Amino acid sequence: EAQVTQNPRYLITVTGKKLTVTCSQNMNHEYMSWYRQDPGLGLRQIYYSMNVEVTDKGDVPEGYKVSRKEKRNFPLILESPSPNQTSLYFCASSQSRTGSSYNSPLHFGNGTRLTVT
Amino acid sequence: QQQVKQSPQSLIVQKGGISIINCAYENTAFDYFPWYQQFPGKGPALLIAIRPDVSEKKEGRFTISFNKSAKQFSLHIMDSQPGDSATYFCAASEVGRGSTLGRLYFGRGTQLTVWP
């Protein structure tokens, strides 16, 4: 089944403890991206990657890191999490190298709910 | 700066009624306008999309109306059902120009509740 898989689904951590949220897609997609979803703010892009070893900042990159060493994986790293990073995180991928198009929609994972205390 | 503005933030509709969600944009270079549907505990999923060369796209009970001159587009859900209760996001992008121009800009979402 074609899908974007995120792990873990739920994560509770403390301020300053480094964590990684994994994302993997099995559709051989070029483009991958991370979003955070907060009430009233919708989906905001954190980072994206158009190809292996190519990553760039989205709208809210502060406090996050990413890497794209393999085409299928795009982990999100929080080196020193803070309470304002408590959010629902989504990984997404698309066959379109630029992010999304009429014939190559964006596919989302089922999310990771992160709580930082 | 918000690229796509969506309203209302929440919407309550009686079963069988029409749900209407509106979006507006400023960038006239946008040429791809999808709507995503998100159920609790799930990621958003593509519902329906339209290109600006048509004024309407219909798929079952879901219709996108597009007004290029007003830079507005809307989602209409006919005969709304309790199973349609979800969060809906409109989005826009400039496709096919390379670089970051295919990136999707999302509205802030509308939480739709359909009462039985």
Can you give the pLDDT at residue B95?
74
Can you give the pLDDT at residue B102?
65
Top pLDDT among A43 and A97 is at A43
Distance CA A49, CA B98 (A): 13
B87-110 per-position pLDDT tens digit: 999 999 887 555 455 688 999 999
A104-113 per-position pLDDT tens digit: 889 999 999 9
Can you give the pLDDT at residue A91?
98
B22-53 per-position pLDDT tens digit: 999 999 989 899 999 999 999 999 999 998 88
Q: Does A7 touch chain B (CB under 8 A)?
A: no
Peptide bond into B8 cis (omega under 30): yes
Residue B9: pLDDT band by 50, 70, 90 thresholds? Answer: very high
Exposure string (b/e) for B53-75, b if CB count within 10 Å is 16 or more? eeeebeeeebbbbbeeeebebbb
Residue of A nearest to B43 (CA): A110
CB contact under 8 A, A4 and B43: yes
Can you give the pLDDT at residue B1?
76
Can you give the pLDDT at residue B101?
56
Task: Indicate the burial class of B82 (C-beta count within 10 angstroms; 0-12, 13-18, 19 or more).
Answer: exposed
Can you give the pLDDT at residue A2?
83
Top pLDDT among A105 and A9 is at A9
Can you give the pLDDT at residue A5?
97
Question: B95 to chain A: which residues are within 8 Å by CB?
Answer: 96, 98, 100-102
List the 39-68 stretch of B: residues with Cβ below 8 A of A: 41-46, 49, 51
Question: B7 to chain A: which residues are within 8 Å by CB?
Answer: none
Cα–chain center distance at A105:
16
Is the pLDDT at B4 greater than 60, yes or no?
A: yes
CB contact under 8 A, A102 and B49: yes
Distance CA A58, CA A60 (A): 6
Quote the mean pLDDT of chain A.
Answer: 94
Residues 6+ apart with CB under 8 A from A62: none
Can you give the pLDDT at residue B96?
57
Task: Give the closest of B42, B51, B98 to A98, CB-based.
Answer: B98
Residue A60 and residue A36 in contact, taking contact as beta carbons nearer than 8 Å: yes
Question: A30 to chain B: which residues are within 8 Å by CB?
Answer: none
A62-100 per-position pLDDT tens digit: 999 999 999 999 999 999 999 999 999 999 999 887 777
Strand partners, A25: A4
Task: Give the closest of B45, B102, B107 to A98, CB-based.
Answer: B102
Q: Does B93 touch chain A (CB under 8 A)?
A: yes
CB contact under 8 A, A90 and B102: no
Task: Give the closest of A43, A48, A99 to B89, CB-based.
Answer: A43
